[in-house]
A and B are shown apart, each in its own frame.
Chain A
Amino acid sequence: MNFLLSNSGNGRQRMLQLQLLALLPVSIAALVNTGYQYLATLAQNSTLSTDDFRGRLARGLGASHESLGLFDMLAAGFAHLAPILALALLVGGFWERIISERRQTPMQPGFILVALLFTLLLPGAAAFGHVVFGMSFAMLVGRGIFGGDGKTFLNPALLGIAIVQVSFPSVADQHPLWSGLAGYAGSDAIAVYHRGGEAALSAIDIDLWSAFVGSTSGTMGTTSILAVLLGAALLMIERLIAWRLLIAQILGLLVFATLFNLLGTGAGASAMPAYWHLLLGSFAFGAVFLACDPVASACTNPGRWIQGFLIAALVVLIRVANPTHPDAVIPALLLASILAPLIDHLVIAWNIRGRARRHV
């Protein structure tokens, strides 16, 4: 682990350090909010059972169901986040070890980033089988077969979470898992908006501020826009992610959401204003940490603009047209990421045509 602390000139290690550091605010927000969601749900509904592994761990750490102090939230959040992260690291390290022994190359530390991203994209009570399955898929199909860090064609964590969502749809939209309590049906904020509009959101105490700081239910790392912004600022200042791709996604979201507001039926998510699109669900997290993965996104500047607008269009379209998949960010990112090499290919072909037309 000493690579995490060494401040050496190796660019690859420094990049990984920065990416992990950028995920730190999101991870802290995930701890606090997962614990808050768990305890708040218990406080509302005293008939729920807390006698599972996580409930016992939270109690063992000293989390009290009665008070909602910071320590209680952290302890309850830790009881949800830490086992998943530990398992994801274990599975990731296991496959990395196998791959590196097979290839006779040194182990590449990038699996730590994959495990952390994957964990933050899971609900707090994801089944351990899902974690093992998703991380194994991410490490082998997303990363190993392409040759490891920097050579992947899709973000491995994105691929892992996508395969988990496809294989076990409950992870994405059956809400008991999100607060970790069997028998409680929580709410995905976008699904709530789909059914009842803004009034339904305020009925479950979601306003602009709570959506911004992230005290809403959702997958662990994706709720706090504030924490995502902190991470994004670090990545942009260090010039690790392409600002064009990020801005294009946000601009695209504004454009397409407004387009549906004006032209749509006025019901469901087509009436959802752009700021709710931005604040609810995992769009912000996905836009910064998954879409802007420098390795798996378009590598030309015009391509970055195109990919950003494509992601935004797909997110809004799936949210409006497919209420059974209210969040839509993971499939949209996956599709856009698969298309990124094609976008680059077209941009380069156009660039070459311009060069061929010069008179010298």
Chain B
Amino acid sequence: MESFVLVSPGLETRYVSRAALLGRDYRGVNFELLCEQGDEVKAGAAVMRDVRRPEIRFSAPVSGRISRIERGPRRKLISLQIEVDDSQAVAKFEPPDNNDGVSIRNFMLESGAWSSLRTRPFGNIPDPAGKPTAVFVTALDAEPLAPDTRTIIDTYLQEFRAGVTALAGINDAPLYVCHAQDHALEFEDSGRIRCVTFNGGYSAGLPGVHINALCPIGLGGGQVWHIGYQDVIALGHLLLHGKPWLQRIISLGGNAVRNPRSLAVYPGSTIGELLANEVNDGPSQILAGSSVYGRQIAPGSAYLGAGQRQVTVLVVSASDSVDKTAATNNAVIPSEALEKLILPGIFPVPLMRALQLGDAERARELGALELVEEDVMPLSGACVSHSDYASLLRDVLDRLEAAR
């Protein structure tokens, strides 16, 4: 029996007793369960698939017993929770013999790795037969207190290279590896794989920024795909070793955290256990992601999301919460502070007004297709109206997608 004890050189590991797959991480997917509550599952084994596209599977992040299947309104899946057991069983996958596009796609679909790809526009899991204009690998993280991308990629360089090479093979589109200036990456297949340097502020690590610079989304109806570096390492791990990479490296940070540092954890770990004995007393808020692009989450029932690389805990002062409820005027004041908080070429104020009005067509024309929730998070923080532009954008994107 293969074991999956977390091994990450130089990093503290943190085991938890529960992990989960979250429905909200996979937009537009109608889940069909391949297991039942109480079943024992191996780590990496498929536990769900998409009803509409049954080839797309979702695999268990850990081995254990399915403890709870949480559903919300209209039986929408909220989370599939697994109680970690000691069996440490992992599912095995046979890497493809030949490296043609179809074999790699099938391998990714079978092993569940396909579900970590995302499309832009909309941020969906791409169709298995889809044709992107370009594929983006995000190999840098410029957000405050982010884990050190360079160390992680250098530690798993073999797996990362294997993952990138495989992704370049799944179609004819160019593959951009977006990396930091001080972290040079080179690949032999320089025709298809293009390494591009990004630097600048916190936004330099956003896929939206890379796509906007290299292959901007217009109104033509095409799409590009993107994937994060840890998911590429996971894909490479599957290809090289035939078993899933059952860890993610996250950073714990924020001014309420006693000892900010990076940790190796199970994918989908329960955040409550990760933060046990880590947070100072007093009122605080927990963000999934960084203080700039993070989304506030409820403390009790939260799990690490797909692609999430940070947990930030911030001290909350009493006046902050009072003022948010006291705000009654929702007018946008177009101060200079709002500029540069969004992708280049998009006018923030007209977009914010279109989102507030729910004018999907106007938002589309102003560039909403280039964006997902994380790209507009800073606008919510800077705007005096306290509007939640992330959820407003999601509503608009849902309607635009339904109209296609």
A residues with CB within 8 A of B: 8-12, 15, 105-106, 108, 147-151, 236, 238-243, 294-295, 297, 299-301, 344, 347-348, 351-352, 354-360
Docked complex Cα distance between A15 and B332 (Å): 12
Docked complex Cα distance between A235 and B162 (Å): 52
Task: Out of B217, B323, B345, name the residue touching A360 (CB < 8 Å).
Answer: B217
Task: Out of A15, A238, A300, name the residue touching B384 (CB < 8 Å).
Answer: A15
Task: Bits for B377-392, please: 1 = Cβ < 8 Å to A, else 0.
Answer: 0000011110000000
Q: Which residues of A contact B345 (CB under 8 A)?
A: 351, 354-355
Q: Which residues of A contact B382 (CB under 8 A)?
A: 11
Q: Is the pair B219, A300 in contact by a Cβ cutoff of 8 Å? A: no
B residues with CB within 8 A of A: 133, 215-220, 222-224, 317, 319-320, 322-323, 326-329, 331-337, 339, 345, 347, 349-350, 365-367, 382-385
Q: Is the pair A358, B326 in contact by a Cβ cutoff of 8 Å? A: no
Docked complex Cα distance between A99 and B217 (Å): 46
Q: Is the pair A301, B339 in contact by a Cβ cutoff of 8 Å? A: yes
Residues A360 and B133 in contact in the complex (CB < 8 Å), given A12-B384, A351-B366: yes
Docked complex Cα distance between A348 and B328 (Å): 29
Q: Is the pair B328, A106 in contact by a Cβ cutoff of 8 Å? A: yes
Q: Which residues of A contact B326 (CB under 8 A)?
A: 10
Residues A10 and B365 in contact in the complex (CB < 8 Å), given A299-B334, A299-B347, A356-B218: no
- Name the CB-closest residue of A to B386: A11
Q: Is the pair B384, A360 in contact by a Cβ cutoff of 8 Å? A: no
Q: Is the pair A351, B347 in contact by a Cβ cutoff of 8 Å? A: yes
Q: Which 6 A-B pairs have the closest CB atoms?
A: A358-B218, A150-B331, A11-B384, A299-B349, A360-B222, A299-B334
Q: Which residues of A contact B320 (CB under 8 A)?
A: 9
Q: Is the pair A240, B365 in contact by a Cβ cutoff of 8 Å? A: no
Q: Which residues of B contact A150 (CB under 8 A)?
A: 329, 331-333, 384-385
Q: Is the pair B333, A294 in contact by a Cβ cutoff of 8 Å? A: yes
A interface: dominant SS: loop
Q: Which residues of A contact B385 (CB under 8 A)?
A: 150
Q: Is the pair B337, A239 in contact by a Cβ cutoff of 8 Å? A: yes
Q: Could you jot down 25 A-B contacts, CB within 8 Å?
A: A9-B319, A10-B326, A10-B327, A10-B384, A12-B333, A148-B329, A150-B332, A150-B333, A151-B331, A239-B337, A240-B335, A242-B335, A242-B339, A294-B334, A297-B334, A299-B334, A300-B347, A344-B350, A355-B216, A355-B219, A355-B367, A356-B218, A356-B219, A359-B133, A359-B218
- Name the CB-closest residue of A to B332: A150
Q: Which residues of A contact B333 (CB under 8 A)?
A: 11-12, 15, 150, 294-295
Residues A360 and B349 in contact in the complex (CB < 8 Å), given A148-B329, A149-B331, A299-B334: no
Docked complex Cα distance between A157 and B298 (Å): 45
- Interchain nearest-CB distance for A68 vs B (Å): 41
Docked complex Cα distance between A297 and B336 (Å): 12
Looking at B217, B320, B350, the one whose CB has the most chain A CB atoms below 10 A away is B350
- Interchain nearest-CB distance for B352 vs A (Å): 9
Task: Out of A8, A297, A299, A358, name the residue touching B217 (CB < 8 Å).
Answer: A358
Q: Which residues of A contact B347 (CB under 8 A)?
A: 299-301, 347-348, 351
Q: Is the pair A8, B329 in contact by a Cβ cutoff of 8 Å? A: no
B interface: dominant SS: loop
- Interchain nearest-CB distance for A143 vs B (Å): 12
Q: Is the pair A108, B329 in contact by a Cβ cutoff of 8 Å? A: yes
Extra 18 A-B pairs, beta carbons < 8 Å, given A11-B383, A360-B224? A10-B323, A10-B327, A10-B384, A11-B384, A148-B331, A149-B329, A149-B331, A150-B332, A240-B336, A243-B336, A295-B331, A299-B334, A301-B347, A348-B366, A354-B345, A355-B345, A358-B220, A360-B220
Q: Is the pair B323, A242 in contact by a Cβ cutoff of 8 Å? A: no
Docked complex Cα distance between A8 and B325 (Å): 13
- Name the CB-closest residue of B to A349: B365
Looking at B220, B223, B335, the one whose CB has the most chain A CB atoms below 10 A away is B335
- Name the CB-closest residue of A to B218: A358
Q: Is the pair A241, B335 in contact by a Cβ cutoff of 8 Å? A: yes
Docked complex Cα distance between A122 and B344 (Å): 42
- Name the CB-closest residue of B to A357: B218
Docked complex Cα distance between A299 and B333 (Å): 9
Q: Is the pair A12, B327 in contact by a Cβ cutoff of 8 Å? A: yes
- Interchain nearest-CB distance for B25 vs A (Å): 24
Q: Which residues of B contact A354 (CB under 8 A)?
A: 345
- Interchain nearest-CB distance for B327 vs A (Å): 7
Docked complex Cα distance between A10 and B324 (Å): 7
Q: Which residues of B contact A294 (CB under 8 A)?
A: 333-336
Docked complex Cα distance between A9 and B325 (Å): 12
Q: Which residues of B contact A344 (CB under 8 A)?
A: 350
Q: Which residues of B contact A147 (CB under 8 A)?
A: 331
Residues A240 and B350 in contact in the complex (CB < 8 Å), given A10-B323, A12-B384, A355-B219: no
Docked complex Cα distance between A148 and B329 (Å): 9
Docked complex Cα distance between A152 and B218 (Å): 33
Docked complex Cα distance between A359 and B218 (Å): 7
Docked complex Cα distance between A105 and B335 (Å): 24
Looking at B335, B336, B383, the one whose CB has the most chain A CB atoms below 10 A away is B336
Docked complex Cα distance between A332 and B64 (Å): 73
Q: Which residues of A contact B334 (CB under 8 A)?
A: 294-295, 297, 299
Task: Out of B215, B336, B350, B367, name the residue touching A239 (CB < 8 Å).
Answer: B336
- Name the CB-closest residue of B to A18: B335
Docked complex Cα distance between A238 and B338 (Å): 12
- Interchain nearest-CB distance for B261 vs A (Å): 29
Q: Which residues of B contact A356 (CB under 8 A)?
A: 218-220
- Interchain nearest-CB distance for B365 vs A (Å): 5
Docked complex Cα distance between A147 and B328 (Å): 12
Q: Is the pair A360, B336 in contact by a Cβ cutoff of 8 Å? A: no
Docked complex Cα distance between A348 and B353 (Å): 13
- Interchain nearest-CB distance for B175 vs A (Å): 15
- Interchain nearest-CB distance for A39 vs B (Å): 40
Q: Is the pair A352, B319 in contact by a Cβ cutoff of 8 Å? A: no
- Interchain nearest-CB distance for B259 vs A (Å): 28
- Interchain nearest-CB distance for B262 vs A (Å): 30
Docked complex Cα distance between A243 and B133 (Å): 38
- Interchain nearest-CB distance for B296 vs A (Å): 15
Q: Which residues of B contact A358 (CB under 8 A)?
A: 216-220
Looking at B217, B323, B385, the one whose CB has the most chain A CB atoms below 10 A away is B323
Docked complex Cα distance between A117 and B384 (Å): 22
Docked complex Cα distance between A238 and B220 (Å): 39
- Name the CB-closest residue of B to A8: B319
Q: Which residues of B contact A151 (CB under 8 A)?
A: 329, 331
Q: Which residues of A contact B367 (CB under 8 A)?
A: 355
Docked complex Cα distance between A299 and B331 (Å): 14
Q: Which residues of B contact A106 (CB under 8 A)?
A: 328
Q: Which residues of B contact A239 (CB under 8 A)?
A: 335-337
Docked complex Cα distance between A294 and B339 (Å): 12
Docked complex Cα distance between A204 and B350 (Å): 49
- Name the CB-closest residue of A to B132: A360
Docked complex Cα distance between A15 and B342 (Å): 21
Q: Is the pair B319, A355 in contact by a Cβ cutoff of 8 Å? A: no
